[in-house]
């Protein structure tokens, strides 16, 4: 068996996670060269295609309908615990609010 073919087999096995530990050094050395990098990319593309699952086509106008529904969603709120690192809560008039152990509620952007 020629060396070039053997190295490509090692890189293929490495990309599949099936390369014995004794052959790792040879495969890693091969990856330093342009041919090794090309083989690595090729085997990963092949693997990606083999693992790919067919996805159903989206109906016409799907993206527009989704955008409209998202825009109609109410703004979500999240709770933020009041800690020393956070800015102090302020009343509507801008004065500092009384300290409270309750978490502050803020609107998400």
Share of the chain above pLDDT 90, in %: 20
* pLDDT, tens only, 11-31: 989 988 899 999 999 899 999
Helices (H) and strands (E) in the chain, counts: 4, 2
What is the count of structural domains for the chain?
1
Give the model's pLDDT for residue 4: 84
Estimate the share of the chain in helix, then strand, then coil, as percent rounded to the nearest 5.
50, 10, 45
What's the whole-model pTM score?
Answer: 0.44
Tell which wins on pLDDT, 34 or 48.
Answer: 34
Q: Is 90 exceeded by the pLDDT of residue 55? A: no
Supply the range of the domain harboring residue 40: 3-51
Whether 92 is covered by a domain: the verdict is no
Whether 67 is covered by a domain: the verdict is no
């Amino acid at each position: 068996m020629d060396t070039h073919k053997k190295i490509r087999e090692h890189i293929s096995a490495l990309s599949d996670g099936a390369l014995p530990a004794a052959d790792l050094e040879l495969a890693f050395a091969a990856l330093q060269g342009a041919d090794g990098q090309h083989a690595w990319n090729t085997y990963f593309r092949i693997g990606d295609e083999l693992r790919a699952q067919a996805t159903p086509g989206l109906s016409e106008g799907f993206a527009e309908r989704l955008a409209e529904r998202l825009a109609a969603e109410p703004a979500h709120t999240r709770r933020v615990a009041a800690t020393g690192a956070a800015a102090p809560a302020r009343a509507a008039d801008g004065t500092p609010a009384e300290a409270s152990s309750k978490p502050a509620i803020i609107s998400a952007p």
